[in-house]
Chain A
Amino acid sequence: MNRKFLPILIYISFNLMIASQVFAATAPYLKRGGHASFFSRAMGQSCWGLDIGANTLPCNPGFIAFEREGLVKANMDFGNNLRSSNEVSELLANKATPQTIENLFAHKEVSEFESNFELGYWGQTWGFAIAPVQLHSSLFTRNPALPEIDLFASQDEILRLQFGSYFNQDLYWGVELRGLHRKFIAKRFFLVEILAQDGLELVKPKEQNVLFIDPSIVYAPENKPWNPKFYLSISDLGFADKSYDEVPLKPSPHVGLSGNTDLGIGDLGVSLDLSWQQESNSPFEAATLGLTYEFGILRLLGHYGSRSDAVGFEVTANSIHIGLLTENQLLTLGWGTEEWQRRSYLVLGTEI
């Protein structure tokens, strides 16, 4: 039975690579689907291969079916450049004034921030998490003679429910149901447009309710070196009450494998994920390699992909953990060009 599935997974992987295509530039994937977390930033798409909580629940719902003790977790993480948060909050609350706009666009450099709070329970075969507020903002400008703005700002409320079980001894399944209420602004415009009549309508927030269904299958043969895990998943299979081009519902398939081994001086985890996001246009771009290394209270994290890389660490002591990472990401800007951006993230969390 087990041997039958390996060729199928390989066959599917191959076909998905061939079928990869170029996607139009829209809101970044992590921001679009409510996936943003410290761990998903640290590991990129390779987090889909790891049986580790991304904030509170695993990225891949297939891992929810594994045996474990129940944990209540809470995490709070921040991205860099929080100075614009007040202005973005005013924009999203539809209370923007010309002064708000002036403050927001006074920074000629790229302005980005992200903050997230999530509380959840990860048990055996099921788990849930609630993120009452997840804020994202990115602001890019060009042409100092006539500033052109590429703005994405969103305020999400997310409820996640994961459950799963097994088909047989080594084959597991899991599903994440993710409800998301989103208030967002995604707009490219010239600064002078705001100053024309009804110009502030340009930055009037839109609202959307989405139900995402992320199914996954994990094949994890027992008693093998490196504890290998193969998986096939789909993320962002969504249904929305209103559809917007800026935040498209584009399901993304994931295939990958991962494993971990005890080196004697710590535990090494490796994950290779192939996933097709809007930015991907080749099999190489679809690939993300992630590494974790745990030694005592320290966990090192990192990933490398064609469009992002990151390195960071977490320290856990007395149920409290703190982490820090730096990430580089290649972003497709609203005007069609691409730019590498570096960010730093900080996480504070607890487990009971």
Chain B
Amino acid sequence: MRKITRNPILSILLVGFITLAFSCNRQSSQQSSSSSDQSIELQQAITEIENKNYDLAIHKLKLLYSRYPTEEISLHLASAYAAKSGIRAAEIWGLSVGYKNPSEIKDSSSLQQLKNVFDLIQNNIEQFESPKSLSAKDKNEIMTRKNELLIKTKKLIKDGLLELRKVDVQFQKTPDIKGAQRKNLEIAISILRKHPSKRTMIYSAALFSIILKNALVETGRTFNFWREDSFQICDPNAKLFVQWVRYSLLIAVEFAQDFKVAYPKYQKALGDFQANTSSLIQQFDILLSNANTSDNNIQFNNFESTFFGYCQ
């Protein structure tokens, strides 16, 4: 080893060194205990989602959300409801890629299938216009009493379906849901809408698209039933069909509302879509209001009862 060399600045260096050691250790940031509790409880609830105990997860997350109504917890709570409906990451991811690259699905088979469905529906509407497809009784009634209303209504349905067609969604990747599942998705959406931001609204739009796809499937299904009944205007399936068309249009408007928050650059296009579609829905009501005034014998409160009211 080396020889001792007394250094007069040694003690000064040491004092400075020790001071530095103490001062640097003071730089810290405290994590509050409540924040820690929140993290632990949130993790416990998420573990329940991972274990597919969705009801328990919802229960825990609802309690947590009542105490800490944060956007983060709202997302997890909404996801628990979505998971209960069978909607998990894989389903959302497939949808989201479709939204992210709408140009990429222009020529995809799924979009072509969608187009085929709409074309079929439009053809059927054209067929519906043909007197041959209607019974003589209905034809006479419609032609004499509701001819103008029917033609306008038919046009509105066709326009409405065309507007729906403009929603570029990869339906092939969109999961199917049933009525009860749809209810859970609606709850999830209502939770997300309390915290409007890009991330909550893209998730909400994804959930809306699942509901929309489901609504369009139901629309097509009821239309086919109606077609099987030769488009009898007073057939219950006709009423169901119109109800589903209108519901789909409403969902499409809601979808656009959330999607334009997530994608501000599409705000104008989506705004136009919303305006057009809302206008369609309003035209239904205006048209029916006119019909109401033209026929004082029947009191109609909404489109469905107006359209089918005379069948009663």
Q: Does any Cβ of B come within 8 Å of A226's Cβ?
A: no
Q: Does any Cβ of B come within 8 Å of A352's Cβ?
A: no
Partner-binding segment picked from A32-40, A152-160, A190-198, A297-305: A190-198
Q: Which residues of A contact B167 (CB under 8 A)?
A: none
**Distance between Cα atoms of A215 and B19 in the complex (Å):** 13
Q: Does any Cβ of A come within 8 Å of B199's Cβ?
A: yes
The A1-46 residues at the B interface (CB cut-off 8 A) are 1, 8, 12, 15-16, 19-25
Among B22, B28, B49, the residue within 8 A (CB) of A15 is B22
- Whether A191 contacts B93 by the Cβ 8 Å rule is yes
Q: Which residues of A contact B87 (CB under 8 A)?
A: 145
B 28-56 binary contact with A (CB < 8 Å = 1; else 0): 11110001101110110010011000000
**Distance between Cα atoms of A199 and B264 in the complex (Å):** 12
Q: Which residues of A contact B93 (CB under 8 A)?
A: 102, 191
Q: Which residues of A contact B78 (CB under 8 A)?
A: 146
**Distance between Cα atoms of A193 and B200 in the complex (Å):** 8
* Nearest chain B residue, comparing its CB with the CB of A2: B4
Knowing A145-B82, A336-B36, A337-B40, say if A21 contacts B22 (CB, 8 Å).
no
Q: Does any Cβ of A come within 8 Å of B27's Cβ?
A: yes
- Whether A253 contacts B25 by the Cβ 8 Å rule is yes
- Whether A253 contacts B24 by the Cβ 8 Å rule is yes
How many inter-chain residue pairs (CB < 8 Å) link A and B? 154
Q: Which residues of B contact A170 (CB under 8 A)?
A: 1
CB distance from B49 to the nearest CB of A (A): 5
Partner-binding segment picked from A75-83, A161-169, A288-296, A311-319: A161-169
Q: Does any Cβ of B come within 8 Å of A276's Cβ?
A: yes
B 1-26 binary contact with A (CB < 8 Å = 1; else 0): 11111110010011001101110111
Q: Does any Cβ of B come within 8 Å of A98's Cβ?
A: yes
- Whether A98 contacts B21 by the Cβ 8 Å rule is no
Q: Does any Cβ of A come within 8 Å of B255's Cβ?
A: no
Partner-binding segment picked from B95-103, B136-144, B271-279, B304-312: B95-103
User: How many A residues, CB 8 Å from partner?
Assistant: 51
Q: Does any Cβ of B come within 8 Å of A284's Cβ?
A: no
- Whether B5 contacts A144 by the Cβ 8 Å rule is no
- Whether A195 contacts B17 by the Cβ 8 Å rule is no
B 61-82 binary contact with A (CB < 8 Å = 1; else 0): 0000000000000011011101
The A129-147 residues at the B interface (CB cut-off 8 A) are 142-147
Knowing A142-B50, A146-B79, A192-B203, say if A250 contacts B27 (CB, 8 Å).
yes
- Whether A336 contacts B97 by the Cβ 8 Å rule is no
- Whether B25 contacts A146 by the Cβ 8 Å rule is no
The A184-236 residues at the B interface (CB cut-off 8 A) are 189-193, 195-197, 199, 215, 217, 222, 232, 234
- Whether A22 contacts B30 by the Cβ 8 Å rule is yes
**Distance between Cα atoms of A191 and B78 in the complex (Å):** 14
Knowing A22-B30, A193-B198, say if A98 contacts B88 (CB, 8 Å).
no
Among A16, A146, A232, the residue within 8 A (CB) of B75 is A146
Q: Does any Cβ of B come within 8 Å of A283's Cβ?
A: no
CB distance from A62 to the nearest CB of B (A): 12
CB distance from B82 to the nearest CB of A (A): 6
Q: Which residues of A contact B40 (CB under 8 A)?
A: 336-337
- Whether B75 contacts A190 by the Cβ 8 Å rule is yes
- Whether B1 contacts A232 by the Cβ 8 Å rule is no
Among B18, B26, B100, the residue within 8 A (CB) of A19 is B26
- Whether A197 contacts B262 by the Cβ 8 Å rule is yes
- Whether B89 contacts A253 by the Cβ 8 Å rule is no
* Nearest chain B residue, comparing its CB with the CB of A237: B24
Closest 7 pairs (CB-CB, A-B): A336-B39, A146-B79, A251-B24, A145-B83, A145-B79, A195-B96, A196-B198
Q: Which residues of A does B touch, CB under 8 Å? A: 1, 8, 12, 15-16, 19-25, 98, 102, 142-148, 166-171, 173, 189-193, 195-197, 199, 215, 217, 222, 232, 234, 237, 250-253, 276, 335-337
Q: Which residues of B does A touch, CB under 8 Å? A: 1-7, 10, 13-14, 17-18, 20-22, 24-31, 35-36, 38-40, 42-43, 46, 49-50, 75-76, 78-80, 82-83, 87-89, 92-93, 96-97, 99-101, 198-199, 201-203, 206, 262-265
List 16 A-B pairs, Cβ < 8 Å.
Answer: A1-B4, A23-B28, A24-B30, A144-B89, A145-B49, A146-B78, A146-B82, A168-B2, A168-B5, A192-B202, A193-B199, A195-B100, A196-B199, A196-B202, A217-B17, A335-B39
